[in-house]
A and B are shown apart, each in its own frame.
Chain A
């Protein structure tokens, strides 16, 4: 199989390229014109093509002889409009270019962020409702962009009859990416752990990349949506404790119940904060929930459809992250 990978030099992209190579596939990596890739150390078999989804010029040749597009590119920094333009308009340009080629299969990196966390109770799975309508625009810019990226990709796939697989990873962690937004609120060395016994929807970057590579090659993945988590997930308290222990960072954990903090945030938002959506994310209830709401998570669908299990257990992932 020959795969075109966007965002190939990113945190997840580098590991997806490695996983595709390890599974015997051919990789063409799309990276921005001014990006340096020498330090990544890709083997000579990885073909590098240069392009920027924001400009859209000369993207079609990147699809020549490719069987599948693994679309990982998305902006994670910058203002909301820049994130949207880069992630969503960039996807439009990429898929418009693809429409004139023989490539007919896509694996899209979506996100857990697209779910409507306010209404989900119990277990979050692929059948859980996604955020839509006016409520979507109360969420953060990344969520708005990822929701629209998935929406746009589904429309293109339906219009052109492409095989689409959507993967929605939870929190992706790995080397230099051990501290997560769900760890709570950090003030200097103090970590306020909100809902310390909540489970985290974790996927280690190597496990996540393995599923991307398998989904790209397995025809049973066509038309499917998979949540990407390694399992039920570590509890926030122990995950943060491991992070502090293994990273060498000094810090103190202060546990506070989720319901108490959520109640205070909701009350303040509706009263003294006057429902101002320009506030920091932790003070806007729907964004607070999307980072911290205690739910249960499962990778059952990937297991049932693809027979996938996370290849590395938590202890091994700790070694890969901090070893």
Chain B
């Protein structure tokens, strides 16, 4: 299959690293407004051609799949152009700046029988997949509640709060935090299903150009409830996912490889905390070493979920089987995102 990519920034390199490793995929074209970025990224990842104008690339390359990895406010126009050129589209999160734009893309893609999917890479991380396996095999029991909490320092130089060059994500409703909201919502959706009700509190703790630096929300989903959180001030950086089942509880830090389970066991009840504690200590020790070793190994590293998602998407497109992230899920996640946006900002 012929792949093309629009927007050759940081996340694009992760897409291209994965595409380069897929034997049945040719990186047919890359596009960026900066000629040097486009040319260098093409040279680095062995792309057949590079462009600074995406319409020229779509016309000349005729890709089967287009990855849209530009700043989010440009996604709608670029994704629509790619669909109109007859390509399937994998768009980075947030898929579009507004829900209305996404619904328009979905309608068009459906009419043309083209695939449209969004990158929810943390849903496909090894730890998340392991928890899903525990759910599917009944080890966790029915999911009761999910906690998703990201702590990430956004105040470093060159980051979202850099006053010298405004980050493109600041134009989104909710500002920089809206850039991370699809991660939180897609993980919650994985375990709760479509939301019924949602309530979010957006606050600001530190003076900066960010409109908000804290988000905490409660969601009632079709199958379970969830709490979602983002803190730009809580440290150290971490991305906690905790799933409460009727038979066990799973906890993982998605920035590391830590994954622990606490479960109901046969035998004397007073021993259960001890046995769970010993098991958790073993898992944490293993994860501490694993997180370090991951830095020394070739391959996707912390982006293993993205590699799983991209390779799965290409396999599904080739075999005409359901996508890892079907468009219905994209819509449900984005409806949850819409419901969580700060008051007065919903589209």
Produce 1/0 per residue, B21-41, CB < 8 A to A: 000000000000011110010
Give the CA-CA distance A144 to B296 in the complex, in Å. 21
Residue B53 lies at the interface, judged by CB distance under 8 Å to chain A: no
Task: Kindly state whether residue A116 has any CB partner on chain B within 8 Å.
Answer: no
Q: Are A276 and B298 in contact (CB under 8 A)?
A: yes
Residues of A114-135 contacting chain B, CB below 8 A: 133-134
Residues of B with C-beta under 8 A to A77: 157-158
Instruction: Please report the number of residue pairs spanning A and B whose Cβ atoms sit closer than 8 angstroms.
Output: 65
Using Cβ atoms and an 8 Å threshold, which residues of chain B touch A79? Answer: 10
Q: CB of B318 within 8 A of chain A?
A: no
User: Which of chain A's residues 92-141 have a Cβ closer than 8 Å to chain B?
Assistant: 92, 133-134, 137
A274:B297 contact, CB within 8 angstroms = yes
Contact B37 A273, beta carbon cutoff 8 Å: no
The segment from B110-118, B163-171, B188-196, B265-273 found at the interface with A is B163-171
> In the complex, which residues of chain A have a beta carbon less than 8 angstroms from the beta carbon of B163?
33-34
**Inter-subunit contact A134/B165 (CB<8 Å):** no
Chain A residue at minimal CB-CB distance from B45: A137
* B157 CB → nearest A CB, Å: 7
With A33-B164, A92-B34 known as contacts, the answer to whether A84 contacts B296 (CB < 8 A) is no
Tell me how many residues of B have a C-beta within 8 Å of chain A.
Answer: 21
Encoded as 1 (CB less than 8 Å from any B CB) or 0, chain A from 60 to 97 comes to 00000000000000010111011011101101100000
- When distances are taken between beta carbons in the complex, the residues of chain A under 8 Å from B296 are 273, 276, 278-279
Q: Report A-chain residues with C-beta under 8 Å of the C-beta of B129.
A: none
Q: Indicate whether A275 reaches chain B with its CB closer than 8 angstroms.
A: yes
Shortest A151–chain B CB gap in Å is 8
Q: Hey, which chain A residues are within 8 Å of B157, CB to CB?
A: 77-78
How many angstroms between the C-alpha atoms of A122 and B158 in the bound complex? 40
Contacts of A81 in B (CB 8 A): 9-10, 13
Q: Are the CB atoms of A88 and B34 closer together than 8 Å?
A: yes
Q: Is the CB of B165 within 8 A of A84?
A: no
- Chain B residue at smallest Cβ distance from A87: B36
* Contact status of A148 and B36, CB under 8 A, knowing A278-B296, A278-B301: yes
* Interface status of B43 (Cβ within 8 A of chain A): yes
Interface positions, chain B 184-213, Cβ under 8 Å from A, are none
Cα–Cα, bound, A75→B34 (Å): 17
Is residue B133 within 8 Å, beta carbon to beta carbon, of the partner chain?
A: no
Known: A75-B158, A78-B158. A88 touches B36 (CB 8 A): yes
Sample of 19 more A-B contacts, CB < 8 Å, known A34-B164, A88-B40: A32-B164, A33-B164, A34-B163, A54-B164, A55-B164, A55-B165, A81-B10, A84-B37, A85-B9, A86-B158, A88-B36, A89-B36, A144-B40, A148-B36, A152-B36, A274-B297, A276-B296, A278-B297, A278-B301
Of the A-B pairs whose beta carbons lie under 8 Å apart in the complex, a sample of 13, sorted by A's number, is A32-B164, A79-B10, A85-B34, A85-B37, A89-B34, A89-B37, A92-B36, A133-B43, A148-B36, A151-B36, A274-B297, A274-B298, A279-B296
Which A residues have a C-beta under 8 Å from some C-beta of B?
Answer: 32-35, 52, 54-55, 75, 77-79, 81-82, 84-86, 88-89, 91-92, 133-134, 137, 144, 148, 151-152, 273-279
